[in-house]
């Protein structure tokens, strides 16, 4: 069964897939799709050259696969990353 996503949801899936520290498990948890389905979305939504570049980068990357992560990495984003709300960067 193929899931249908809104444009906003697709944008978020692609954004999460691009982020090095966001594991595929987080995408599965939030959107209910597997790593393979995420890869299929990326292939469908991106230019072929961009997809190849992304795929080469994430292949075997320990931060994209929860089981390959060290115990020290226990969050989805960098601790120094600012929160974004209402399209504005919030102040610390």
Q: Could you read off the pLDDT of 35-75 as tens digits, one per residue?
A: 999 999 999 999 999 999 999 888 877 666 555 555 555 55
pLDDT > 50? residue 89: no
Query: Is there a contact between 67 and 25 (Cβ–Cβ < 8 Å)?
Result: no
Q: What is the pTM of this model?
A: 0.66
Q: What pLDDT score was predicted for residue 4?
A: 87
Tally Cβ neighbours within 10 Å of residue 18. 14
pLDDT at 82: 53
Check residue 87 and give its pLDDT.
47
Q: Where are the domains of the chain?
A: 7-89
């Amino acid at each position: 069964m193929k899931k249908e996503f809104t444009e906003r949801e697709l944008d978020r899936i692609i954004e999460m897939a691009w982020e090095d520290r966001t594991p595929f498990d987080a995408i599965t948890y939030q959107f209910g799709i597997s790593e393979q389905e995420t890869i299929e979305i990326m292939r469908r939504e991106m230019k072929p050259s961009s997809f190849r570049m992304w795929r080469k980068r994430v292949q075997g990357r320990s931060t994209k696969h929860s089981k390959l992560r060290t115990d020290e990495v226990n969050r989805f984003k960098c601790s120094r990353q600012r929160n974004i709300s209402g399209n504005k960067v919030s102040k610390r």
